[in-house]
Amino acid sequence: MIKKIAICSTGSSPSSQVDERFGRCACFMIWDPETKDFEPLANPAADAAHGAGTGAVQTLLNKNVGFILAQRVGPKAFAVLKQADVKIYGGIVGKTVTEALDSYRAEALPELLSPSN
């Protein structure tokens, strides 16, 4: 099964701006490379008192996400994502969800190799 791509978003549309935050983003736009469709997923961990990042990770793993486009990922979430072999890419500041996906598909985003929050 092909892994999906989760893009941190401020809203539930492909035209929404990306959200730089991972654990506290409002929404994840999940793109399925097989169907070429987006699925909006409200981030249930966005308002958590603590553990927002790791809560968000579990939600995405349950959706078969293998790639995340996010600018800021905290150390705990980063460690869990790496352990699950999920790749994280940055370089999305100032883009819409669609623009971020296009940049990823063009291999124009840098992989995050360490926590960035």
* CATH assignment at residue 37: 3.30.420.130
Tokens representing residue 61 in the block: 């793993």
Q: How many domains does the chain have?
A: 1
Give the gyration radius of the chain's Cα atoms.
12
Asked whether residue 80 is assigned to any structural domain, the reply reads: yes
More confident residue, 103 or 2: 103
- The pLDDT of residue 99 is 97
Tell me, yes or no, whether 86 lies in a domain. Answer: yes
Render pLDDT for 14-54 as a digit per residue (tens, 0 to 9). Answer: 999 999 888 889 999 999 999 999 999 998 877 666 767 77
Residue 113 included in any domain: no
70, containing H or E segment? none
Give Cα separations from 24 to 18, 47, 49 (angstroms): 12, 7, 11
Residue 30 in domain: yes
Query: Is 116 part of a structural domain of the chain?
Result: no
Give the pLDDT score at 11.
Answer: 95
pLDDT reported for residue 51? 67
117 occurs within a structural domain: no
Give the model confidence (pLDDT) of 56-72 as tens digits. Answer: 888 899 999 999 999 99
115 is a domain residue? no
Task: Provide the domain limits for residue 20.
Answer: 4-105
Give me the pLDDT at residue 55, please: 78
Structural domain includes residue 62: yes
